[in-house]
Amino acid sequence: MRNLRAILIISLMILNYYVFVESGDLSTAPALYLFGDSLLDGGNNNYLPTVARVNYPPYGTHFPQGSTGRFTNGKTVGDFIAESLGLPYPPAYLGPRERGVLTGLNYASGACGVFENTGKRLGLCLTLDDQVSLFNKTIEEELKGKFKTEKELSDYLANSLLVMYTGNNDFLHYVRANYSKSAGIPKDHQQFSDVLLHHFYNEFQKLYSLGARKMAIFEIGPLGCIPTVIKRYGTSEGCVEDINRMVTYFNGELEIMLSNLTSTLQDSSFVLNPAYSSVYDAIKNPTKYGLTDSTKPCCITWGNMTSTCVPLLPPCHDYQKHFFWDSLHPTEAANFLASKHFKKSTFSSLHLV
């Protein structure tokens, strides 16, 4: 009986642990800061002179606050990560918000990327360098006055989670300018990736110098599988695997770079979230994830499945079964799947549980 009782107690302890991990109650992150493009944008582009805005229905159809500027029908993957950490959704830096908020901010900007010229044909947006500069401004003008000592601020920054999801638009811009179905992969694609990696490296160094220590970076997803790319460059065979091969090369080099940064920058953790494989599998095997459509947008889009949703037109009725919301962006259902994979692959690596 004594042994049985011991086994039951241990079993209950293990069960409670996993319950808490799933709910995020064991999180040690006081704040969540988001950097990236439209996959994380929580409304910053609403306050910029750009046509890359989605502050109108059907965007936000299934989000409690409606059309906030999120490039999906509901929550972004960043929203789901915040929920897992027990934190509120990080408000858009440029939007109406409380100054000096200690639970994090969202600097992400749709259409933008790492390179200065990415997305600028659509108007003004915040590059990754712009976003890192705003993070620095946040520290100097809003956070320093909230802490009694420099050590308290340092501990806060070191324990906060920074999530980055960018580079997608840089690749799409490169593909638009250099890829053709007849020629295939451009010969200089590795050089392009190396230059992009160099820019990433500089921004990571800046964030570390500002006090950040826990950084999670999403891989570039299988861009050859998104509707707009297939429509422009694909065939009846589905994903444009040439473009996916360029992305996988970059992701491999990014993983090496992040590992080197973690080993050389004291007390740092740069964790790569393996988004490519999970997204690719969900697109290729949608029923495995409770989806029925992984190729067509849920909303009616401009440009024959190559752009964003046409304003005010109703979306598909089975939106929770679609992977893509418009021709570029995932649905809330797909974002939820991505966030579950993020928690499983990333939280423990960053000691968040």
Backbone angles phi, psi at 33, to 5 degrees: -115, 130
- The DSSP line for 9-31 is HHHHHHHHHHHHHHHTTT---S-
Q: Which residue spans within the chain are E strands per DSSP?
A: 32-36, 161-165, 214-218, 269-273
Backbone angles phi, psi at 31, to 5 degrees: -155, 155
The neighbouring-strand residues paired with 215 are 162, 270
259 closest CA partner among 289, 217, 317: 217
- Which residues have a catalytic role annotated? 38, 326, 329
Question: Is 122 within 8 Å of 100 (Cβ atoms)?
Answer: no
261 closest CA partner among 213, 221, 219: 213
Backbone angles phi, psi at 347, to 5 degrees: -60, -45
Question: Is 327 within 8 Å of 228 (Cβ atoms)?
Answer: yes
Question: Is 313 within 8 Å of 304 (Cβ atoms)?
Answer: no
d(CA 308, CA 326): 6
Q: From the centroid of its chain, how far is CA 333?
A: 15
Identity of the amino acid at 127: T
Backbone angles phi, psi at 309, to 5 degrees: -70, 140
The neighbouring-strand residues paired with 273 are 218
The neighbouring-strand residues paired with 180 are 184
